[in-house]
Amino acid sequence: MNLDNKTVQSLASHLEQAELKTQDVVKITDAHPDMDFDDAYAIQYAIRKAKLSRGQKFAGLKMGLTSRAKMTQMGVDTPIFGFLMDYMARGDGGEIRIDELIHPKVEPEIAFVTKADLHGPGCHIGDVLAATDFVVPAMEVIDSRYRDFKFDLKSVIADNTSSSRFVAGGHAGDPRELDLRTLGVVLEKNGEVVATGAAAAVLGHPANSVAMLANMLGARGEHIPAGTFIMTGAVTEAVAVRKGDSINARFQGLGSISVRFV
């Protein structure tokens, strides 16, 4: 850690205010070039604590930048993790208000729900499949608080990995029966296909993303508890949306998710 606690707290409040006031800010490493990865996660944890202290409920964890498409799109090369809260959840088939967001983008993801604790280091795909209750299709709405979605890895970790809204589909699948590598995903905007992919885009298999999360948490003395909802990261690049857009994400064998931005 290179930042003192006061600076961590004030950067957390700065970024959370940007979220709550729908106002973009410049990336925080511009003013704090010496901040390190521990500082970045400490800022993210301070935002989580602030939300919990206001009575909001923890809803799950997410991995980000787990696919080549996303790493290339954002110009970074290491997966990161963040958290989800209850107020970020929206229903399949529902509406998402655009005026609550800065410059949202949508991404199709595979989500896991665990039935046993997962501990790292040393967590691997076999542990994850054994500890998975079911998988569901999901759609994340990311909304970086940074101007023009321009950031570096430390800045985006501090900004809770651009978490903003998420939608989980209701068609649950068993990861032991599905082939999660070849599972196809089609993303449509206003009836036109705008991105396609296969779930192997996520670290070869989305369960590897959950294993990596357990290992990243393990390095911090934490674990993934049983019953955790985990989004494993975008299968395709993220697609920008505007007011009036209808989005439909189709997942092979797992149904589809649709939302409208109003």
Are 117 and 225 in contact by the 8 Å Cβ rule? The answer is yes
Radius of gyration over every alpha carbon of the chain, rounded to an integer in angstroms: 17
> Please, which residue, 106 or 191, has the CB nearer to ligand OOG?
106
Separation between Cα atoms, residue 19 and residue 29, nearest integer Å = 18
> Please, which residue, 83 or 261, has the CB nearer to ligand OOG?
83
Left if phi > 0, otherwise alpha if psi is -120 to 50, otherwise beta: which for 36? Answer: beta
CB neighbours of residue 115 within 10 Å: 12
Candidate residues 161, 164, 208, 256; the one interacting with ligand OOG per rule CB under 6 A = 161
Distance of closest approach, residue 233 Cβ to ligand OOG, in angstroms: 4
DSSP codes of every residue in 18-51: HHHTT--B--GGGT-TT--HHHHHHHHHHHHHHH
Does 25 interact with ligand OOG (rule: CB under 6 A)?
no
Are 240 and 104 in contact by the 8 Å Cβ rule? The answer is yes
> Please, which residue, 114 or 164, has the CB nearer to Mg ion?
164
Does 140 interact with ligand OOG (rule: CB under 6 A)?
yes
Amino acid at 202: V
Does 234 interact with ligand OOG (rule: CB under 6 A)?
yes
Per-residue binding string, Mg ion, 220-249, x by CB under 5 A, is --------------x---------------
DSSP codes of every residue in 147-196: GGG---HHHHHHTGGGEEEEEE-S--B-TTTS-TTT-EEEEEETTEEEEE
Torsion of CA 173, 112, 93, 59, to 10 degrees: 150
Q: Count residues binding Mg ion (CB under 5 A).
A: 3
> Please, which residue, 3 or 112, has the CB nearer to Mg ion?
112
Q: Of Mg ion, ligand OOG, none, which one sits near residue 70, judging by CB under 5 to 8 A according to partner kind?
A: ligand OOG
Window 182 to 221, contacts with ligand OOG (CB under 6 A): none
> Please, which residue, 5 or 69, has the CB nearer to ligand OOG?
69
Closest CB to ligand OOG: residue number: 64
Q: Count residues binding ligand OOG (CB under 6 A).
A: 14
Distance of closest approach, residue 232 Cβ to ligand OOG, in angstroms: 8
Selection from 106, 110, 258, 78 nearest residue 182 by Cα: 110
Does 29 interact with ligand OOG (rule: CB under 6 A)?
no
Per-residue binding string, Mg ion, 129-158, x by CB under 5 A, is -----------x------------------
Window 42 to 101, contacts with ligand OOG (CB under 6 A): 64-66, 70, 74
Write the DSSP symbol of residue 262: -
Residues that bind Mg ion (CB under 5 A): 107, 140, 234
Residues that bind ligand OOG (CB under 6 A): 64-66, 70, 74, 107, 140, 142, 144, 156, 161-162, 233-234
